[in-house]
């Protein structure tokens, strides 16, 4: 790899990292965001969706805000199961499973119980009940302003056996016992039986639990339709978590009016996440008329109820002057509240208020670093970049080049072009405790350029180095390498009419090995020179005939300046050899017949194991002559074959990269 020449003054390191945009920003960013969402990387997906809002070509009516809401919901999912436990008179231990994206705590533990916390569970232990009366209590699990109450029942010695009394609440407790293995062997089938009896008597929490068991396939075969039926029953019976679930399910299906109905029901009963999500619907006009006042009212209700994401949303609204008058002091208040509840994005923004003294906040670099660090450790890319910036400048921390590289590197590993460029510049200059490394610098600057980072592109162009990118030309597009704005090395060019070329380039033109797909359905595999066929190649006429060759569907042979010239072969649609001999100025120069010595040659299109294909010449059933091998992953090899092995000059095209050279016995030499 050629080293990058030193192009930058060191002061570039002292500037905040900024992101540039490729000529196309919105579509690739949106695609990446959806891929991250599908991979359940919701925080990264949300940042990518937010990034699309800065793209100049963003459509006015896109659904990015809905995607952001879906990310928020996934990032702030909070659930405790089960929400009701029962013990016999001897007491015992029950495990509660906690699903939470942030920190959580337990409060209100009865005096006769104790709890131990794990990473994602609570071990609830209750003492024996020696009294004559049953006792009850509850604990509350809190996360990000959301509360889940877990009811605790303990029987006396006279009520230690399962009863079938005509009491739906007893049936619910029996279901809990079998679900948790409390005094009986854990048995989801038996638990479902008892929950179902209680649910049939309109006990909403039992209906929701039955829905969850069908949804998760616990004690019964998974049945989503059945699960939704029970969630609806529970929601109509006033269970706010079932209402939230139905709102979320309908939002996911983009059934906005139903999502609005269910979120509204839960919101009016005080469920804070639903209040925020209802605010989103009003803000975006989904399922209801757009109403900024109602959106703000519900955002504020959720925020006042301690919902961290809603607090952060209010911070964003006040900072940007969106549906409210801009007020940095009010923005600072809400960002701080959300940050203190471990909302990572809010931690980053609160760090910014501290660093720059915004909104009447006292400027404090040390405090800013504290909050940037929290956000960075939670995976916020911008916070990781800012940590790199703080360390390279010694703001709030001692100057430390190695530590700066660490934080820039963390953001770069999350595919941030700004971080990749900053890391490259850092390695290019080196520092007191970081060795200069031009190869590492080139690697990261090239990555940034390939994502369209403008400073990185400029650096590579000034250094005379090619890089991979995507360019658009009205309705055409090119993805591949460029050098000084000119297509080079390898890439794929797609025309508006559906035709495309994939292969080697030089000076902006196809040169070397390449594959051309015509809009008509014809194909050419082979060598090129200055945008025309030159060398060995295979032309397939999917409809009609190859020029000047009667009944010929495939021509394999030599080309000069776009015409058949030299030795070549013509095959009909069935692969039968029609002619093998000399060509001159695109026409056969000998009698159009098969000579005796050429008998046995055919053209084969073979479908091979694993979905691979071979298109080209064959003899005695094996690849022989010029042919093309296409792997099921899209890789292509074009060149000369002998005895069904690659022998001679050829080219391997895969993932936009082309390797050319000589092969012998199927091995690249």
Query: Is 591 among the domain residues?
Result: yes
In sequence order, the 6+-apart residues with CB closer than 8 A to the CB of 652 are 635, 636, 637, 658, 659, 660, 668
- pLDDT interval class at 465 (50, 70, 90): confident
Please report which residue ranges of 321-472 form alpha helices under DSSP H: 328-340, 344-356, 365-377, 381-393, 401-413, 417-429, 438-450, 454-463
Instruction: Encode pLDDT of 196-207 as tens digits.
Output: 999 998 888 899
The distance of Cα 257 from the centroid of its chain, to the nearest Å, equals: 28
Query: Is 590 among the domain residues?
Result: yes
Instruction: Encode pLDDT of 65-86 as tens digits.
Output: 888 888 877 777 778 877 877 7
Its pTM stands at 0.60
What CATH number does the domain containing 534 carry?
Answer: 2.20.110.10
Residue where one domain finishes, among candidates 179, 199, 219: 199
% the chain with pLDDT above 90: 44
Instruction: Encode pLDDT of 394-440 as tens digits.
Output: 999 999 999 999 999 999 999 999 999 999 999 988 888 999 998 89
The total number of structural domains in the chain stands at 2
For the sheet with 587-588, list strands across it.
Answer: 467-473, 476-483, 486-494, 500-506, 509-517, 523-529, 532-540, 554-560, 563-571, 577-584, 587-588
pLDDT exceeds 70 at position 223? yes
Domain coverage including residue 555: 476-668
Query: Is 233 among the domain residues?
Result: no
Query: Is 607 among the domain residues?
Result: yes
Residue where one domain finishes, among candidates 132, 166, 199: 199
- pLDDT interval class at 634 (50, 70, 90): confident
Instruction: Encode pLDDT of 371-392 as tens digits.
Output: 999 999 999 999 999 999 999 9
Q: Which pair of structure tokens corresponds to residue 288?
A: 């209801």
What CATH number does the domain containing 85 carry?
Answer: 2.60.40.10
CB 246 within 8 A of CB 258: yes
pLDDT exceeds 80 at position 56? no
How many DSSP H helices and E strands does the chain contain? 20, 26
3-state secondary structure of 188: helix
In sequence order, the 6+-apart residues with CB closer than 8 A to the CB of 31 are none
Q: What is the pLDDT of residue 461?
A: 81
CB 207 within 8 A of CB 214: no
pLDDT exceeds 80 at position 133? no
Helix axes 401-413, 417-429, angle to 10 degrees: 150
- pLDDT interval class at 450 (50, 70, 90): confident
Q: What is the mean pLDDT of residues 505-517?
A: 92
Strand partners, 279: none
Single out the residue of 394, 465, 368 nearest to residue 424, CA to CA.
Answer: 465
- pLDDT interval class at 451 (50, 70, 90): confident
Query: Is 280 among the domain residues?
Result: no
The distance of Cα 564 from the centroid of its chain, to the nearest Å, equals: 48
Q: What is the mean pLDDT of residues 236-262?
A: 92
Query: Is 379 among the domain residues?
Result: no
Q: Measure Cα distances from 90 to 123, 180, 648 in Å.
A: 17, 16, 83
pLDDT exceeds 50 at position 162? no
Q: What is the pLDDT of residue 159?
A: 42
Q: Which of the two residues, 40 and 317, has the higher pLDDT score?
A: 317
Residue where one domain finishes, among candidates 199, 234, 254: 199
Q: Is it true that the peptide bond before 202 is cis, omega within 30 degrees of 0?
A: no
pLDDT exceeds 90 at position 195? yes
Q: What is the pLDDT of residue 15?
A: 31
Query: Is 516 among the domain residues?
Result: yes
Q: What radius of gyration do the chain's Cα atoms show? A: 34
Q: What is the pLDDT of residue 160?
A: 42
- pLDDT interval class at 354 (50, 70, 90): very high
Unique residue bearing structure tokens 């790199």: 388
Torsion of CA 171, 173, 179, 180, to 10 degrees: -160
> Can you spell out the DSSP letters for 349-390?
HHHHHHHHTGGGPPP-HHHHHHHHHHHHHTT-HHHHHHHHHH
Q: What is the mean pLDDT of residues 466-489?
A: 86
Computed over every residue of the chain, the mean pLDDT equals: 86
Query: Is 247 among the domain residues?
Result: no
């Amino acid at each position: 790899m050629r080293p990058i020449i030193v192009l930058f003054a060191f002061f570039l390191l002292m500037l905040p990292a900024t992101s540039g945009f490729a000529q196309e920003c919105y579509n690739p960013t949106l695609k990446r965001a959806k891929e991250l969402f599908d991979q359940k990387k919701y925080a990264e997906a949300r940042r990518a969706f937010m990034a699309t809002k800065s793209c100049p070509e963003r459509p006015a009516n896109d659904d990015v805000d809905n995607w952001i809401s879906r990310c928020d919901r996934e990032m702030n999912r909070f659930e405790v199961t089960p929400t009701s436990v029962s013990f016999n008179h001897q007491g015992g231990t029950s495990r509660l499973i906690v699903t939470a994206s942030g920190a959580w705590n337990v409060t209100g533990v009865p005096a006769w119980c104790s709890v131990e916390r794990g990473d994602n569970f609570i071990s609830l232990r209750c003492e024996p009940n020696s009294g004559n009366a049953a006792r009850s209590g509850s604990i509350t699990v809190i996360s990000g302003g959301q509360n889940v109450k877990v009811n605790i029942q303990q029987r006396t010695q006279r009520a230690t056996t399962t009863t079938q009394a005509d009491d739906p609440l007893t049936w619910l407790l029996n279901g809990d016992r079998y679900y948790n293995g409390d005094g009986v062997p854990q048995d989801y089938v038996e638990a479902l039986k008892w929950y179902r009896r209680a649910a049939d008597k309109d006990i909403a929490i039992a209906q929701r639990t039955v829905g969850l068991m069908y949804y998760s396939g616990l004690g019964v075969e998974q049945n989503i339709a059945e699960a939704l039926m029970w969630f609806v029953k529970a929601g109509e019976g006033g269970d706010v978590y079932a209402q939230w679930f139905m709102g979320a399910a309908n939002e996911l299906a983009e059934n906005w009016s139903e999502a609005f109905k269910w979120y509204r029901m839960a919101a009016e009963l005080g469920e804070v996440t639903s209040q925020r999500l209802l605010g989103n619907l009003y803000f975006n006009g989904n399922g209801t008329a757009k109403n900024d006042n109602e959106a703000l009212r519900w955002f504020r209700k959720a925020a006042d109820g301690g919902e961290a994401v809603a607090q952060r949303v209010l911070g964003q609204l006040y900072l940007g002057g969106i549906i409210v008058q801009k007020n940095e002091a009010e923005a600072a208040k809400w960002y701080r509240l959300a940050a203190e509840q471990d909302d990572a994005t809010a931690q980053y923004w609160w760090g910014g208020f501290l660093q720059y003294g915004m909104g009447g906040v006292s400027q404090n670099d040390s405090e800013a670093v504290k909050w940037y660090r929290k956000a960075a450790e939670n995976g916020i890319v911008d916070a990781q970049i800012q940590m790199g910036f703080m360390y390279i400048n010694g703001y709030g921390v001692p100057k430390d080049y190695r530590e700066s590289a660490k934080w820039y590197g963390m953001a770069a590993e999350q595919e941030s072009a700004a971080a990749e460029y900053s890391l490259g510049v850092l390695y290019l200059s080196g520092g007191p405790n970081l060795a200069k490394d031009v190869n590492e610098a080139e690697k990261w600057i090239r990555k940034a350029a390939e994502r369209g980072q403008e400073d990185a592109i400029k650096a590579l162009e000034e250094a005379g180095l090619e890089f991979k990118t995507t360019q658009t030309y009205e309705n055409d597009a090119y993805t591949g390498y460029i050098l000084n704005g000119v297509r080079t090395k390898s890439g794929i060019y797609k025309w508006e009419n559906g035709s495309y070329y994939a292969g080697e380039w030089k000076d902006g033109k196809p040169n070397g090995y390449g594959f051309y797909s015509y809009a008509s359905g014809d194909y050419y595999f082979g060598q090129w020179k200055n945008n025309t066929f030159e060398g060995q190649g295979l032309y397939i006429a999917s409809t009609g005939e190859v020029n000047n060759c009667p009944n010929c569907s495939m021509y394999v042979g030599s080309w000069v300046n776009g015409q058949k010239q030299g030795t070549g072969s013509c095959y009909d649609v069935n692969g039968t050899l029609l002619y093998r001999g000399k060509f001159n100025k695109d026409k056969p120069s000998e009698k159009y017949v098969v000579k005796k010595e050429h008998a046995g040659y055919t053209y084969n299109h073979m479908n091979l194991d694993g979905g691979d294909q071979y298109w080209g010449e064959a003899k005695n059933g094996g690849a022989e002559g010029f042919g093309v091998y296409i792997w099921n992953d899209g890789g292509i090899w074009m060149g000369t074959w002998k005895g069904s092995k690659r022998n001679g000059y050829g080219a391997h095209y895969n993932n936009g990269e082309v390797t050319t050279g000589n092969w012998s016995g199927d091995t690249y030499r």
